[in-house]
């Protein structure tokens, strides 16, 4: 915590027995009215460090801290200022005149106590009933006895629905830091009972009462969700060495939900990327680079550029189980082993850096990380760009020779299409790599029928993009001439 001016003001004005602390969670609302609500009290503005550059009212001490609960705020201000009575308000709170006078009249001497006020929410143009709330403490908040009811009411002006949701998200993020564990009841039973209680309390408040009850309950669930998410991320990082057999130069690591395999020289940087990734969110740039996978370009801590792809099903099955697979040998591990051997044989496939497999619902889902091929585009993108002349001839020949080499050296790609062939430039010439090998097979060589099926599949995917029959015929003839050449 950072003290902005609390001690300077204490020396300037002397000790005051009562302090009013106003919690500012964002810079949307003006705290001036809340700070001036209790006559004669020392004034403190408690706000998050990221609001440091936001101007504060004059003659107000600023305390920087990540707190949202009123009792925690009162304890913080009591320890920092040695005030005997601490009143805690939020920037949108305004005590009625009767309540303000009662707060100012709290005697500083006496046993520790908490003081409760009736709360009203001003929402969507209507005053909506709220639950009683503790707004002041005498002495240490944790030692306070039964609360003392104060006259008057505390009016909280609520923002519009969109702003309210944004504030609930920020408040939930802060509140979740102080909770260690949640259970199923925090998502179902407790929010359900709280919603029923709020709806009953506001049964005469019309639509605004219903909407506010739903928003407050949503805030409760949001806190539980953020605590659960933090716990899941922490658990995902709990790893242990694995006895799983992997290719030389790689290390297998068991996780709580499955395992990862990473290149030895990229162990720490790649491990973090793999563990933090989810099928929907990856710390990188979403790209479209063929295949069925959800693919991101990522930059590792050491500057290495890589591509992370989550496995996705194709065909009719994608409508029912998008990313779940079944079997004893996960596809990511099979693709890693196959790729290492294919590269040993001199086949142009990207270098695999790591994989991840998560066991889920009787099956698994997986991701694979490969080294990025600079400047690469899919063959489909090349065809749509429609190059001409020598460039087109060089690309057609490069693709044909790469596929001939692939077949001669035993790699049978069972999903060969324009999205699974990458074309780039290397030393002024066209370079070709074949990707998405999760369904591929390695043999001594690929037979005639296997080659024919793979090339027919590629031709069908090309036919969907090429519009000129004459150009298609020329490309077909040039491809087969180059394919028949001895590589």
What is residue 72's three-state secondary structure?
Answer: helix
Query: Do 111 and 9 sit in the same domain of this protein?
Result: yes
Closest CA to 167 of 45, 48, 44: 48
Do 293 and 365 meet the contact criterion of CB atoms below 8 Å apart?
Answer: no
Neighbour count for residue 434 (Cβ, 10 Å): 22
Closest CA to 11 of 90, 76, 82: 82
Q: Which two tokens stand for residue 86?
A: 């601490």
Query: Do 143 and 171 sit in the same domain of this protein?
Result: no
Residue 151 to residue 118: CA distance in whole angstroms? 8
Residue 47 to residue 15: CA distance in whole angstroms? 22
What is residue 100's three-state secondary structure?
Answer: helix
- Residue 124 has φ and ψ, to the nearest 5°, of 55, 40
Q: Among 371, 398, 427, give the residue marking a domain's end.
A: 371
Q: Which two tokens stand for residue 212?
A: 């506010």
Residue 103 to residue 85: CA distance in whole angstroms? 9
Q: Among 311, 341, 371, give the residue marking a domain's end.
A: 371
Query: Do 41 and 94 sit in the same domain of this protein?
Result: yes
Query: Distance of CA 113 to CAs 14, 134, 149, 467, Å?
Result: 24, 10, 11, 82
Q: Among 347, 371, 395, give the residue marking a domain's end.
A: 371
> How does strand 18-24 pair with strand 126-129?
unpaired
Neighbour count for residue 104 (Cβ, 10 Å): 17
Residue 377 to residue 453: CA distance in whole angstroms? 24
Query: Do 315 and 418 sit in the same domain of this protein?
Result: no
Q: Which two tokens stand for residue 248?
A: 């030389």
Residue 298 to residue 310: CA distance in whole angstroms? 13
Query: Do 340 and 408 sit in the same domain of this protein?
Result: no
Query: Do 83 and 181 sit in the same domain of this protein?
Result: no
Which helix (H) or strand (E) segment holds residue 115: the answer is strand 113-123
Q: Is 0.75 topped by the overall pTM? A: no
Residue 253 to residue 70: CA distance in whole angstroms? 44
Give me the domain span that covers residue 226: 159-236
Q: Count structural domains, the chain.
A: 4
**Please, where are the H alpha helices in 85-181?**
97-104, 161-176
Do 30 and 87 meet the contact criterion of CB atoms below 8 Å apart?
Answer: no
Query: Do 314 and 182 sit in the same domain of this protein?
Result: no
Can you give the CATH number for the domain in which 274 is found? 3.30.200
Query: Do 221 and 123 sit in the same domain of this protein?
Result: no
Query: Do 343 and 437 sit in the same domain of this protein?
Result: no
Strands ordered across the beta sheet of 421-426: 377-378, 421-426, 429-434
Residue 274 to residue 259: CA distance in whole angstroms? 10
Query: Do 205 and 347 sit in the same domain of this protein?
Result: no
Query: Distance of CA 281 to CAs 234, 276, 284, 318, 331, Å?
Result: 17, 9, 9, 20, 21
Can you give the CATH number for the domain in which 408 is found? 1.10.510.10
Closest CA to 179 of 228, 133, 214: 228
Neighbour count for residue 485 (Cβ, 10 Å): 11
Neighbour count for residue 57 (Cβ, 10 Å): 14
Query: Do 147 and 4 sit in the same domain of this protein?
Result: yes
Neighbour count for residue 89 (Cβ, 10 Å): 25
Query: Do 383 and 412 sit in the same domain of this protein?
Result: yes
Do 335 and 327 meet the contact criterion of CB atoms below 8 Å apart?
Answer: no
Tens-level pLDDT at each residue, the chain (487 residues): 444 444 554 544 456 799 999 999 887 788 999 999 999 899 999 988 878 888 888 888 899 887 778 999 999 999 988 899 999 999 999 999 999 999 999 999 989 999 999 999 999 999 999 999 999 999 998 887 789 999 999 999 999 999 888 888 888 887 777 777 888 899 999 999 999 999 999 999 999 999 999 999 999 999 999 888 778 777 777 889 899 999 999 999 999 889 999 999 999 899 989 988 887 778 888 885 444 557 889 999 889 999 999 998 766 665 566 778 888 889 999 999 999 999 999 999 999 999 999 987 778 999 999 999 999 999 999 988 888 888 999 999 999 999 999 999 999 999 999 999 999 988 778 999 999 998 899 999 999 999 999 999 999 998 888 778 888 888 889 999 999 986 5
């Amino acid at each position: 915590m950072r003290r902005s001016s609390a001690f300077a003001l204490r020396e300037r004005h002397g000790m005051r027995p009562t302090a009013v602390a106003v919690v500012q969670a964002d810079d949307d609302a003006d705290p001036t009215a809340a700070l001036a609500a209790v006559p004669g009290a020392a004034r403190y503005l408690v706000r998050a460090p990221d609001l440091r550059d936001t101007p504060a009212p004059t003659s107000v001490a600023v305390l920087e801290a990540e707190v949202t609960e009123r009792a925690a705020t009162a304890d913080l201000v009591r320890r920092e200022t040695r005030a005997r009575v601490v009143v805690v308000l939020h920037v949108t709170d305004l005590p009625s005149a009767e309540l303000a006078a009662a707060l100012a009249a709290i005697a500083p001497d006496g046993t520790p106590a908490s003081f409760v006020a009736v709360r009203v929410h001003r929402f969507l143009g209507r005053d909506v009933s709220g639950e009683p709330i503790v707004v002041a403490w005498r002495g240490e908040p944790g030692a306070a006895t039964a609360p003392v009811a104060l006259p008057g009411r505390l009016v909280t002006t609520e923002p519009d629905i969109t702003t309210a949701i944004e504030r609930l998200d920020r408040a939930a993020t802060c509140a979740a830091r102080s909770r260690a564990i949640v259970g199923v009841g925090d998502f179902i039973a407790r929010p359900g009972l709280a919603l029923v209680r709020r709806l009953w309390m506001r049964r005469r408040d019309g639509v605004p009462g219903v909407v506010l009850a739903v928003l407050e309950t949503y805030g409760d669930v949001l806190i539980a969700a953020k605590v659960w998410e933090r716990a899941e991320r922490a658990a995902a990082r709990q790893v242990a060495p694995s006895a799983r057999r992997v290719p030389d130069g790689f290390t297998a690591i068991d996780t709580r939900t499955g395992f990862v395999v990473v290149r030895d020289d990229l162990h720490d940087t790649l491990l973090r990327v793999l563990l933090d990734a989810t099928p929907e969110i990856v710390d990188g740039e979403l790209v479209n680079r063929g295949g069925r996978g959800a693919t991101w370009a990522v930059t590792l801590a050491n500057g290495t550029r890589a591509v992370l792809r989550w496995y996705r099903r194709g065909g009719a099955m994608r409508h029912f189980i998008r990313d779940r697979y079944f079997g004893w040998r996960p596809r990511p591990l099979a693709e890693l082993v196959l790729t290492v051997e294919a590269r040993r044989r001199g086949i142009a496939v990207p270098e695999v850096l790591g994989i991840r497999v998560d066991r889920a619902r009787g099956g698994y889902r997986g991701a694979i990380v490969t080294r990025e091929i600079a400047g690469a585009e899919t063959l489909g993108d090349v065809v749509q760009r429609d190059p001409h002349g020598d460039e087109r001839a060089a690309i057609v020949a490069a693709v044909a020779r790469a596929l001939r080499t692939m077949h001669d050296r035993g790699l049978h790609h069972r999903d060969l299409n324009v999205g699974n062939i990458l074309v780039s430039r290397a030393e002024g010439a066209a370079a070709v790599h074949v990707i998405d090998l999760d369904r591929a097979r390695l043999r001594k060589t690929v037979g005639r029928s296997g080659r024919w099926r793979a090339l027919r599949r590629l031709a069908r995917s090309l036919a969907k993009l090429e519009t000129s029959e004459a150009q298609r015929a020329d490309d077909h003839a040039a491809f087969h001439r180059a394919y028949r050449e001895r590589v």
